[in-house]
Structures are given as structure tokens and as C-alpha cells.
Structure 1
Amino acid sequence: MTTISLTQSILGLLAGIILIVLLTARFRVHAFFALLLASILTGIILQLPVTDILGSIKSGIGNIMGSLGLLIILGTTLGLILEHSGSTTVLANYVLRRTGTGRSAMAMNIIGYLVGMPIFCDSGFIVLSGLNKALAKRSGIPMIMMASSLATGLYAVHCLMPPHPGITAATGTLHAETGKVILYGLLIAIPASIAGYLWSAFAARHIAADVSNSEETTEAVKQGPSVLMSVLPVAVPVLLIAIRSLSGLETSSPSPLLQSISILGIPEVAIGVGILLALTQLKSNRTHILQEGAEKAAGILVIIGGGGAFGAILAKADIGSHIAQYPSVVALGLLLPFLVTALLKTAQGSSTVAVIAAAAILQPLLPAMGLDSANGRILCVLAMGAGSMMISHTNDAYFWVISKFSGLEIKDMLRVYSTGTVVMGVVSVGLVYLLSLLLA
């Protein structure tokens, strides 16, 4: 095959990214078709034969589906079961009883972090928006502060923790250890979530409360699960994954008992255990909810499949080896994956698409960046997760979910929430850097 020049590689990359941005942000084309068309365009610019383009697209989709499909289907299903069983509302009301109405914004931030583990940020915000509006009215806290506090709590884990699609796709592309990405992501998401809350409180301090937004009251669960049974479907999988990852069971040859624990700690198996625990709290409609989980996951999987196709085409461009020739760029280390992902996120709006595209670009650069090790790959994934937070604004669907379900002005959203995502991203990448010192 003819050697592809640096100019040709960069032109193909830029053309693909620009097409994705235009199709998703300007013309509202579904992300899968935007990624698919970008793959074809990039392949043409790289002068690849049609058969190679189609072959790369098929293999890219197949590889990413094989490594991530089951995890995403199970994670999506768990979130839906918790939502339908009332577990998320039980958890929310429990946290509120502990914090009190006067600390409603802080409580909603904590609730967002907890509920956001199994549920995608947009779904979580929609589920909790009625509770959020009722508390804003009762407490007299400005709605923008309440909404931004909840939104940033959900957003922190969405960007940093598998099985959420973007970070999961990056984990698969870079062949990072899923269990440790989950654990470190959860830890980094705590200060990121707190930073989002503190910034929301600071930025909204001069905005008057609007008590006319809603007449809803806090939702009560009359026959919902207990607090313990609401927490277990989330806590047990995290505990199983933690035991496996931190004990080194996955690399040893343990006794039959420890072998069983090791198997249960595989992320897909652990989430499956969470699903079984959550299903015990459903009184009816189990079959319908399982079907809904599979159908909802399908929409996420096609986007990730499109990202896999685009990544496979970009691999043909060998952009990594070209960029590796410039030591000043590679010397940025963890800042490079952060900045690349942040640029893509800000340009086209989707955290998922940004991380998928960034992972495909950066995967060949891991050796040059000094991140071609087990810990290095984990750190690179987390740095991209931090970058995928910046900057959520008017081209982000989540931005509009927050605005519409809270009845907020765009100028207030930009002033409080959008700037808050910048703070969260900077705090997160700083913590990733500190983690890199600990793991060195």
C-alpha cells in the first residue's frame, strides 16, 4: 500500500472531524451516521480502496461491539430497573432526610453522584427533575443552583466511570483494565462533583430564587424497596470489582473460592449480579423492562459502533506515528489526551463522540507519550474522561435537558452550568496527574 503522508493524514482527520461536527451539531444527524460518513470521507481522502474502507468499517464495528457490547447492555438495563423499581427515588429521599431541606443543593449533588453510577446523566436528570424543582420551591434556593448541582453530580460519573458509553469505549480502544478505570473514575468523580456543586453555589449567589417554576411535591415511594435494597444493586457490583482489581486476583492462580470471587469481580458478571438483586424489587413488568433495557442499549451501541468504524479508518492514516515525530507535542503527556478530547467535546457537543474520536487518534501515540503500560492506559482514559466534560454548552443535548426540565434561561445556564463543567474538567485532570505520581 502507498505510504500516507502527514499532510494527507491530517487532512483526512480534520475533514472527518469537521463533518462529524457539522452533521451532529448543525444538521442534527444521528451520531452513528455522522461517524459512518466521516469514516467513508476520511478513507477516500487517504486514497484507500473501497474494499479496504468497507473492511475497516466492518472490523471496527465488530471489534468495539465484541469488547463493550455486553457491558453497556447490562449497565443500561440495571439503570432502568432501578428507575422503575423506585430505588433511585428511595435513595434520593434518604439523602435528603440526612442533609435537610436547607442543604438541598448539596443533597441533590450527592444524589446525582450516586444515581449517576448506573443511570446516564440525561435520564437521571429527567427522573429527578420533579424532586429538584419541588425542593427549590420549598428551600428558596435559586433553581439554577439546584439544577446545576444535580447536573454536575450526574455528569461527573457519566464522564469518568464505565459502563457509561464514552469512557467505556475509550477503555476498550486503549485496552485499559476496566475494573481499575471504574474504581479510579469513581474516586476522581467525587472531588469533580464537589467542585461542580461549589462552583454552582458561587456562580449563582446573586441570582434570585424563582418559586414559580413548579407546584410539584417531593415524590414519596409508598411501597418501594428499602434503602438497603436500593443501595445493594449498585454497591455490590462496585465492591466485587474492587476486590478483584485491588487484590490482584485477575493475575494470580488462587484457590477455588478466590477463583469464584475473581469471576464475580469481572465487570460484566458484577453488573449481572446487580441486575439480579435489582430484579427482586420489581413487583411486575420484569419482561417489559428487560426488553426496554435491550432496546435502549441498542441506540448507544450503534453510536459506539460508528466510533469503532471511524477509529479503524483513522488507524490506517497512522497519524500517531506522524505526530510522534514532534517531541514538543508528545511531551505534553497526559495533557495531550485531555486537550484533544476537550477540543472535540466543545466543538461538537457529545462527550461520547469526543472520547471515541480522541481514543482512536491517541491510541497509536501511547508509546511516544510514555503511557504504553497498564497504568498508563488507565491514566490516558481518565484524562480523556476529564476532557470530555469541557465544555458543555448549547450544542450538548444534556445542556438542553437541564434547561428545559428546569425552566432556565440560557444565559444563566451558560453562566453557572457551562462554566462549572470547565471547573470540573480542570479539577479532574489535575487529580489524574496526581494519580499518575502515585502510580509511578
Structure 2
Amino acid sequence: MTSLIILILLVAGIVFVTARWKVSPFLALTGAALLGAFAFRLPLGEIVPTVTTAFGGTLGNIGLVILFGTMIGMILERSGAAIAMAEALIRVLGTRFPNLTMSIIGWIVSIPVFCDSGYVILNSLRKAVTLRTGVSALATSIALMTGLYATHTLVPPTPGPLAAAENIGVADNLGLIIAVGAPVSAVAALAGLAYARLFARKEFTPLPAESEEDISTQTYEELRASYGRLPNAFHAFLPILLPLALICASSIVQLPARPIGEGTAFDAVTFLGTPLIALILGLLVAVTLLRGGDRLALFHEQVHESIRVAAPILLITGAGAAFGAVLAASPLTGFLSDHLTGLGIGLAVPFLIAAALKTAQGSSTVSIVSTSALVAPMLAALGLGSPEGMVLTVLAIGAGAMVVSHANDSYFWVVSQISRIPVPTAYRTLTVATAVEGAAAFAAVQVLGFVLL
């Protein structure tokens, strides 16, 4: 019982210092790891090695993967490829179903691009579709927001799911996470879409634009023109589809049946499907999207910006792993094993923890990293120690990390302010939408759990 009390105090401390005092999650998690090591009475000689080994090992395994994934997303964002993808989908889907169109566009774009950035990029397109179809701006805002959110928390190579996979111990099976996470995220996006349809004719008084430079004042035509000539659709999609296809192919050839044997072809597909190699190849394709006089200078600029964006995520991921390693080395593991085995609550544990952390401190990524580090030592006790159980745990955590987006979440403010939705209206619509979406995602994960576990 003492171990459980210590855990509760550590988690409460992380939430308090990050939400109330705005302390960096990296420092909060590192401090929790060190304080926890003392509180759990780990031998003094083992504290520093436990923390540093977990920190370094995690960054060694997925640090470059996160960085290259961020680079791809940054280039897609800055080259106009995201707009090109959106336009290609509109040509296929038309504007007859604007909410569905925005949901699908968000679902695809957010695989490599952070949902915050994705919304900023696509907002002008959303406004153009809204004006063309006469549907409520509130509905298209919810559809785009939830579409982006679905893959942001559930489908690698987005950093959150990548970090969770590493902490849980299933980073070598990203193909399965992608294969299962994609339909789960589709269920979540469809739930958000169904909720958005409730507001198809709901009007609201928009907030005034904060400044003339606000992206919300820019027309879609002006935004499109700012990118110059857009890449063709196939070229725009390729940096996303190539790594995903290679990673999934690698997982398929490694199935116990060995569909292509174990010769040279097997080695080649396995190597190319290694997440790091697959993303490097995706980056090489993405670089060809850059246009301008000095392509090399543009590439260097995107690399520097990507490092700036990825650095906090890498540090948080490493610190979360260190915190998890301390918990794994503590008496907590034995206590939880003794008390959780017979409860049969399984996947609800990571979902509820992630949802509580998300709601309390706002960041989905911090919620995913912290929860995955927290539950990793107790997977066997929860009946989730199999590869399938680990994959579903990653997805349950991602589902929890959607619940709920409100005032302490930067994404809430990005969507509400750029779409000029008054805060009371945003609480009644956007916040509820993320609760609906997260619950639907977990329901899908739970159904898969009944089938696979």
C-alpha cells in the first residue's frame, strides 16, 4: 500500500507542477524519477544507472525515428504538400459532403504533421469548403479537429505513439501498431464526424480576428498562392505512404508463416522496413518537394526547425522512460501484480490513467509518454503481456490521451481561436467532441481486446 501511495503522490506532483507552475514536463518527469527512486528505497548505487540507462536506451532506439518523422512532417507543411493532398482528396470526394471531406483530410495529414500545425495549415481550406457548401463553420471545425486528432494519438510515426511503443516494449512491431491503429483511429474520426453533423446548421457569432496578420483572415486562394506551384498529388502523398508501406511490409514478411521465405528478399524487406530506414527514405522523397533557388539552404532551414520542434519531445520521451524504469525497479510491480491480476479490467487501466493525465495537464504527448512509462511494469498483471496486448495497450493509451481537450490544451486554443469560436461555445462543442472521440476509440480497442486477447 505504501508503494501505491508513493505512486499517487508522484503522479499528482507531475500534474501539479506542469499544470499549475508550468514546469517543463521533462524536468517534472526527471524529478519524479529521482524522487521516486529515493521514496521506493532503491539502492543508492543503482539510482543514477537506472535513470540514465533508460533515458539513453530509449533515445537510442527511437530518437532518430522521431526526428526524421518530424522532418518529413515539417517539409510537407512548408512545401505546400499538405495543401496538395487536401486538394487531391477534394477532387475525389467533392464538396457534397464537406464534413466527411474535412475529417478524411485531417485523418491523413496528421499522420506526419502535428495536429496543431495541421489545423493552421488546413483552416483556410476548411473556410473555403464551408463557404462553398453553406454548411456551418462549427461543423467543419469539429470534423477537421477530430480527424486530425485521431491519427495524432494513435498512428505512428507521430511521436506520441512511437514513444509509447518504446516504453511498452513493442517498438519493433510498429507495422502491427499501424495496421491496428489505422482502423481504430478511423472509428474515432467517424465518431467525431457523427458528432460534427449535429451542428451542420448551427450558427454562432464568431470572435473578431485578433490581428490583420492572423492566419484566419487569409483566404484560401492567398494561402495557396503563397506556396507557388504545388506538387502533384502522388508526389505529395509519397513521403507518407512509402515509410508506412515499408514498415507494414516488414511486419508481414516476418510473420511466423514467412510468406517470402528467409533469403535475400526477406533480409532486404526487413532492412528497408526498419522504422529508421523507412523514414530516411521518406525524408529523401520529401526533400524533392522543396522548391526555390537554393534547395540545400531550404533543406537546412527545415532540419534546424525540425530539431527545435523535436527536442522537447525527445527529452520528455527519455525522461518518461527513466520514470518508468524506476517504477519497474520498485516494489510497486509486485504490489500491483498481487492486486490487479484478478480484477479483469485490463485495457481500462491505461485508458483511464491516460485520460486523467490528459484532462489534468493538457498535453496529449505528455499523457501518452507518462502513462506508457507508468503501466509498462504492470502489463503482465493486467493480462496484457503478449505482443497483441502490448499493441492494444499503446492504442488504449492513445485513446485516453484524447479525453478531453479544454483550456489547458494548446490544441483547444488553436482550433477555437483560428476558427474564431467563442470559448463557451468551444467548451460545449470541441471539448465534448474529444470526449466522444476518445470513448469511441477505446470502445474499438476493447472490442479488439475481446477478439485478440
Change (3 A) 1:179 1:206: same
What is aligned with 2:283? 275
* Distance of 1:203 and 1:18 partners within structure 2: 37
Q: How does 1:289-438 map to 2 (within 5 A)?
A: 289-327=302-340, 330-438=343-451
For the residues of structure 2 that align with 1:241 and 1:60, how far apart are their CA atoms? 25
Partner of 1:201: 197
Task: Within 5 Å, give how 1:115-154 maps onto structure 2.
Answer: 115-154=109-148
Q: What displacement does 1:378 show?
A: 0.9
Per-residue deviation at 1:292? 2.1
Q: Is the 8 A contact 1:136 1:211 kept in 2?
A: no
1:256 aligns with 2:264: yes
C-alpha deviation, 1:29, in angstroms: 1.8
The verdict on how the C-alpha distance between 1:402 and 1:329 changes in structure 2, with shifts beyond 3 A counting, is farther
For 2:199 and 2:11, locate their aligned partners in 1 and report how far apart those are by CA, in whole Å. 33
Q: Where in structure 2 are the equivalents of 1:226-241 lying within 5 Å?
A: 226-241=232-247
Number of residue pairs aligned between Structure 1 and Structure 2: 434
Higher mean Cα deviation, 383-392 or 47-56?
47-56
Matched, 1:192 2:188: yes
The residue type paired with residue 389 of structure 2 is: G
Structure 1: 5+ residue stretches without partners? 1-5
Give me the whole-angstrom Cα distance separating, in 2, the residues matched to 1:10 and 1:437.
29
Once the two structures are superposed, what CA deviation does each residue of 1:260-290 show, in whole Å capped at 9, x if it has no partner? Answer: 1221112221121111111112122122212
Question: How many Å separate the matches in 2 of 1:15 and 1:204?
Answer: 45
CA distance, structure 2, for counterparts of residue 329 and residue 116 of structure 1: 38
Alignment partner for residue 179 of structure 1, among 175, 178, 200?
Answer: 175
Instruction: Work out whether residues 200 and 417 of structure 1, in 8 Å CA contact, stay in contact via their aligned partners in 2.
Output: no
Deviations 1:285-317 (A, max 9, x none): 122212322332212101112212221222233
> CA–CA distance in 1 between the matches of 2:127 and 2:228?
21
Residue deviations 1:81-121 (CA, integer Å, cap 9, x gap): 11122110111122223334453332221111110011111
Query: What is the alpha-carbon distance in structure 2 between the residues aligned to residue 81 and residue 240 of structure 1?
Result: 20
Query: Given that residues 391 and 422 in structure 1 are in contact (C-alpha distance below 8 angstroms), is that contact kept between their aligned partners in structure 2?
Result: yes
Deviates most, 242-251 or 331-340: 242-251
Aligned equivalents of 1:150, 1:381: Cα separation in 2: 24
Give the aligned residue type for 2:51: I
Tell me whether 1:78 sits opposite 2:72 in the alignment.
Answer: yes
1:189-212 Cα shifts (integer Å, max 9, x gaps): 112111112112215653447597
The runs of 5 or more residues in structure 2 that have no matched partner are: 210-215
Q: TM-score, normalised by structure 2?
A: 0.89
Which residue does the alignment assign to 1:3?
A: none
Paired residue type of 1:240:
L
Q: Is this contact kept in 1: 2:396–2:442, CA < 8 A?
A: yes
- Percent identical pairs in the alignment equals 36
> Which residue of the partner structure matches residue 93 of structure 2?
99
Paired with 1:44 and 1:262, the residues of 2 have a C-alpha distance of 43
Q: Partners of 2:51 and 2:101 in 1: how far apart?
A: 45
Does the aligned pair in 1 maintain the 2:137–2:203 contact within 8 Å?
Answer: no
Structure 1 residue 178: Cα displacement = 1.7
Contact map agreement 2:207 2:420 (CA 8 A) in 1: no
Distance in structure 1 (CA, Å) of the matches to 2:257 and 2:412: 42
Letter of the structure 2 residue corresponding to residue 109 of structure 1: S
Instruction: Report the alpha carbon displacement of residue 329 of structure 1 after superposing the two structures with TM.
Output: 6.6
Q: 2:383 & 2:300 partners in 1: Cα distance?
A: 48
Could you tell me how far apart the structure 2 residues matched to 1:417 and 1:96 are?
Answer: 24
Separation in 1 of the partners of 2:412 and 2:314? 22
Which SS does the other structure have where 2:345 is aligned? coil
Task: Look up the equivalent residue of 2:219 and give its one-letter code.
Answer: T
TM-score by length of 1: 0.91
Q: Is the 8 A contact 2:51 2:326 kept in 1?
A: yes
The question of whether the paired residues in 1 share the 8 Å contact of 2:350 and 2:393 is answered with yes
For 2:5, the equivalent position in structure 1 comes to 11
**SS of equivalent residue, structure 2 residue 380:** helix
Q: Distance in 2 between matches of 1:211 and 1:52?
A: 55
